[in-house]
Amino acid sequence: MFFFIFGIANDRKELDFHQSVVCRVCGKYGRYRVFMEYMYFSLFFIPVFRWNRTYYVETSCCGTLYTIDNELGKRIARGENITLHDEDLHIVRTGRYAGWKKCSQCGYTTYEDFQYCPKCAHPFD
């Protein structure tokens, strides 16, 4: 009698890539982190093969998520020295801090659509 233990699952692997940038969404200084999500088939808890690879870029400043082409992602995974440009990035979702307002006088931050700071009454820029 044979028992086959197999399964299909998805996983995420962070790639060794870091590029410092000024974020085009929030305007802050941050860096790009690249990771790959994929599906895999395992036999006796050992991954046998992977498919459906998708490469993502996430900013460290606001968490905006982009996709990049698979060929460019494969080059990054191989360890090639790549510089990402704006035309390489396809936005998936904006980050958690995009759209926040910060008062230039007292430093209060808010996501609400106020015209004036609720803490010091200084007008938002």
* Residue in 96, 99, 32 with CA at minimum distance from that of residue 68: 32
Q: pLDDT-derived band of residue 48, with 50, 70 and 90 as boundaries?
A: confident
* Mean pLDDT, residues 75-103 taken together: 85
Structure tokens at 17: 């890539």
Q: How far is CA 98 from CA 21, 26, 61, 62, 65, in A?
A: 16, 5, 10, 7, 12
% of the chain residues with pLDDT over 90: 46
Domain ranges of the chain: 6-94, 100-125
